[in-house]
Chain A
Amino acid sequence: MFGYANPERFWRLSSLLMPWVWGATAILFAIGLYAALVASPDDYQQGATVRIMYVHVPAMWMSLGAYAFIAVASFVSLIWRHVLADVAAKAAAPIGATFTALGLLTGSIWGKPMWGAWWAWDARLTSVLVLFFLYLGYMAMWAAIEDRTRAARAAAILALVGAINLPIIRFSVEWWNTLHQGASVLRAGGSALHASFLYPLLIMGLAYLFLFGALLLVRIRTEILSQRVLADQRRRAANEQLTSPIESEA
């Protein structure tokens, strides 16, 4: 598996994959938005606000998924010092942070007509807000430490410590008496949603997943190129330092 994580192999493989992943993302969004805004019925209790679920729930799935990805990549980076692991973790963070922000915002928009409040300090909402701050902290760690190796290590440790928040978010609705409803799709005993709501949600979930993959490929490639440029600049600077005494003697 690590063989494919070699930067040059990754580059070749991602060149082949990118058009397909972006194409699939566009198609899934087109189908998903049609299913969510046109084909899906209104809910008998929530009315049309049930349609907000099709952008809120996939954003939250990807928010948690992206953080789990960062945690696994950070673990691989710390233990095996794999070249691409910290690159992949760093590339995934802004994507995960955006999904988390969108999940919080769309949840808030749904909460106003359904709960009568934009925000409540309940366990699920608060733990997701903590996740958003973890993403910001992770990105700030990368930005604040100049030495890349030290930044990767510090950010990886933060990501692994922060991973404890993932089960807290997942089970917060069971452990505490929360305003937020319990799991209705990924739960023991199968989904509680009727097919007319479940299929649009799953299609939008796939669209968000493919978008995450597509953006991740672009951002990893950007990071690989940036590191190449940086390495080249350092090499040139080192060469100049080596050659300048000779030039001055001549």
Chain B
Amino acid sequence: MDGLFQFGEYAGYVWSAYGISLLGLAVLTAVSWRAYAAAKRRAGSLGDGNCS
């Protein structure tokens, strides 16, 4: 594994870019699923949890 993830003087920039990207996409995914789960709960309280 020697040499892997060795980004030299640019390591801070590379990891920051990947960290921000993964964090941003993870937050977007979590927010979207939470909103979906909440909408399903509200629809479920009407009698059914789906569209049909």
CA distance A78 to B17 in the complex (A): 39
A interface, by DSSP: helix, strand, loop or mixed? helix
In the complex, chain B residues 1-22 whose Cβ is within 8 Å of any chain A Cβ:
4-5, 7-11, 13-14, 16-18, 20-21
Contacts of A177 in B (CB 8 A): none
User: Interface residues of A, CB < 8 Å — how many?
Assistant: 37
Q: Which residues, 165 to 181 on A, are CB-close (under 8 Å) to B? A: none
Please name all residues of chain B whose beta carbon is closer than 8 Å to the beta carbon of A102 when the two chains form the complex. 20-21, 24-25
The reply to whether the CB of A193 lies closer than 8 angstroms to some CB of chain B is no
Contact assessment for B42 and A101 in the assembled complex, using a CB-CB cutoff below 8 Å: no
B32 contact set on A, CB distance < 8 A:
94, 215, 218-219, 222
| Contacting pair B42 A229 (CB below 8 A) | yes
CB 8 Å contact bits of B16-36 with A (1 = contact, 0 = none): 111011001100110011011
Check B28 against A49 for contact (C-beta < 8 Å): no
Please name all residues of chain B whose beta carbon is closer than 8 Å to the beta carbon of A106 when the two chains form the complex: 17, 20-21
Determine the interface band of chain B, counting residues with CB < 8 A from chain A: 20 to 34
Nearest-CB distance from B48 to chain A (Å)? 9
B51 to chain A, nearest CB (A): 4
Query: When the two chains form their complex, are residues B43 and A225 in contact, meaning their CB atoms are under 8 A apart?
Result: yes
Q: Does A109 contact B (CB under 8 A)?
A: yes
A113 to B24, CA, bound (A): 22
Residues of A within 8 A of B (CB): 7-8, 11-12, 37-38, 47-49, 51-52, 55-56, 59, 94-95, 98, 101-102, 105-106, 109-110, 112-113, 211, 215, 218-219, 221-222, 224-226, 228-229, 232
